[in-house]
Amino acid sequence: MKLVHKILDFEVSQVDEAARTFWAVASTGGVDRQGDVIEASGWQVDNFLKNPVIPWAHDYAAPPVAKALAVRVEGNRLLFQAQFPTAQEYAFADTIYKLYRGGYLRAFSVGFAPIESQVVVHQLEGRALTGNHYLKQELYEISCVTLPANPQALAQLALKGLRAGSLSPSTSSASASPASGPPPPPAASPAARAILAHCALGALVESRLRYHLGLLPHRDI
């Protein structure tokens, strides 16, 4: 079964240092930047609670970095309480916990199987945006992640930067001197290089997700 992954910015509540837990809240009542809406009342979590492990970046071959002690829906929000192991139990998971506690990480990704949905068109910032309205969906897993909710938006920013002149314009072949050879490639600005590098990371993570979901043939990636 093909899962849908939504990377969301969660609001992390106050951390219980003794229990190494915190509640994370995602507001899903509005239209996201992909044009999708997830009805909070449609979440089905019973099967997830039977094995509520929280992986790192959807890596199902590695040990989980946390577990969900509870999951519930309040209004238009999906909430869950995450608990992380100690450094003695799993040093990497302890690092992830400290990054959330310090605010360096703030995103989680929900993986779910759509049960009932419909295609809708929204008006967002003066433009029509077609997406899915998920009415019922089964929660399969929650992962700790670093990527923003819309890596495709970064690619669009990179393209806009090219058009707006954030990259140095290249000399046209018609105006180049025959003895000068081909024009040098444009020098990318630091901001553009950072955006393109982030897009490349998004593509790498996407290929890894497809592998774990059985959508790619077995190979090292």
114: exposed, middle or buried (Cβ count in 10 Å: 0-12, 13-18, 19+): middle
Q: How many residues does the chain have?
A: 221
Helix (H) or strand (E) segment spanning residue 49: helix 46-50
pLDDT digits over 136-191, tens only? 999 999 999 886 544 433 333 344 443 333 333 333 333 334 444 555 545 545 55
Q: Which of 56, 26, 39 lies closest to 114 in space, CA to CA?
A: 39
pLDDT digits over 79-98, tens only? 999 999 999 999 999 999 99
Greatest alpha-carbon span in the chain? 72
Count helices and strands in the chain by DSSP H and E runs: 4, 10
